[in-house]
């Protein structure tokens, strides 16, 4: 399948953000928003947007930091992520705007979202606040609740998790399961044993930090994601 791509600049609150749109041939079955890890939108997220287009969806890699704001070192990434991780209302506002832009640019309201690490937390917040999408998939996402989870979550939720992830401990998993259950969500969690954080990123190789690529979990998680998107988007 031929995939076409383009940069989509958009404005919110006086700041410019840089989206990346990948379109399949013909009419897309829906649009899948791709939320980035703590370093900001990169080749990794753009590649996942292209994968969504190969699956027949429009893929839109969003940007919650602002055009040109990207992190390289752990310190730079943390400095970008922390202000939004500690201000979930602002994060959710930026996510909602990105979703609106993605739908407009893709020409469809049939939407889902996937995200990685900090992006996993981001898409879970999209579900928690009942943004207008059918479902979300969190890959090795952070689980901390934002404090404004809806009484009843409408989008379906799939969390794909490495059991040895030091950034999302078994206690965090249990808290997440209770949160989803209280909110009457249609939710599921796949936990991969002996698997750390960032297991879908081939460049992750820092066991001391807790980030290690795992080819088996990578393959299994994307198979689960593809099945989930087929269910919620068609």
Q: What is the Cα 97 distance to its own chain's centre?
A: 15
Q: Three-class SS of residue 150?
A: coil
Torsion angle (degrees, nearest 10) of CA 104, 105, 111, 116: -130
> Percent of the chain scored above 70 by pLDDT?
100
Instruction: For 36-182, list the strands marked E by DSSP.
Output: 58-61, 111-116, 135-139, 156-162
**CA triple 16-40-49, angle to 5 deg:** 90
Model confidence band, residue 1 (pLDDT cutoffs 50, 70, 90): confident
3-state secondary structure labels for all residues of 175-206 = HHHHHHHHCCCCEEEEEECCCCECCCCCCCEE
For residues 159 and 195, give the distance between their C-alpha atoms in angstroms, rounded to a whole number: 14
- Please give the share of the chain, as a percent, with pLDDT higher than 90: 99
Instruction: Please give the span between the terminal C-alpha atoms of the chain, in angstroms, as a whole number.
Output: 18
pLDDT of residue 16: 98
For the stretch 188-208, pLDDT in tens is: 999 999 999 999 999 999 999
User: Does pLDDT of 13 surpass 90?
Assistant: yes
- For the purposes of burial, counting CB atoms within 10 Å of the CB of 88, is it exposed (0-12), middle (13-18) or buried (19 or more)? buried
Contact between 187 and 173 under an 8 Å Cβ cutoff? The reply is no
Number of domains in the chain: 1
Beta-carbon neighbour count of residue 17 at 10 Å?
Answer: 22
62 closest CA partner among 92, 110, 114, 98: 98
**pLDDT at position 213, please?**
98
| 42-101: pLDDT as tens digits | 999 999 999 999 999 999 999 999 999 999 999 999 999 999 999 999 999 999 999 999
Quick check: helix, strand or coil at residue 114? strand
Domain that holds residue 174: 4-233
The residues with which 17 forms a beta bridge, in sequence order, are 10
CATH number for position 216: 3.40.50.1820
State how far the Cα of 93 lies from the Cα of 12, in Å rounded to an integer.
9
């Amino acid at each position: 399948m031929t995939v076409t791509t383009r940069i989509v600049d958009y404005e919110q609150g006086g700041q410019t953000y840089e989206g990346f749109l990948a379109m399949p041939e013909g009419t897309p079955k829906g649009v899948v928003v791709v939320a980035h890890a703590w370093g900001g939108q990169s080749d990794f997220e753009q590649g996942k947007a292209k994968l969504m287009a190969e699956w027949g969806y429009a893929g839109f890699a969003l940007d919650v930091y602002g055009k040109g704001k990207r992190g390289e070192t752990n310190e730079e990434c943390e400095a970008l992520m922390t202000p939004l991780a500690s201000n979930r209302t602002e994060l959710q506002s930026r996510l909602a705007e990105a979703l609106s832009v993605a739908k407009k640019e893709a020409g469809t309201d049939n939407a889902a979202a996937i995200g990685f690490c900090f992006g996993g937390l981001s898409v879970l917040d999209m579900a928690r606040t009942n943004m207008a999408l059918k479902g979300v998939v969190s890959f090795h996402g952070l689980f901390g609740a934002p404090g404004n989870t809806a009484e009843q979550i409408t989008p379906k939720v799939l969390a794909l998790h490495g059991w040895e992830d030091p950034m999302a401990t078994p206690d965090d998993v249990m808290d997440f399961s209770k949160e989803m259950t209280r909110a009457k969500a249609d939710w599921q969690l796949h936990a991969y044993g002996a698997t750390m954080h960032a297991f879908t990123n081939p460049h992750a190789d820092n066991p001391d930090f807790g980030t290690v690529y795992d080819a088996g979990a990578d393959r299994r998680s994307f198979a689960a994601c593809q099945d989930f998107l087929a269910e919620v988007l068609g």
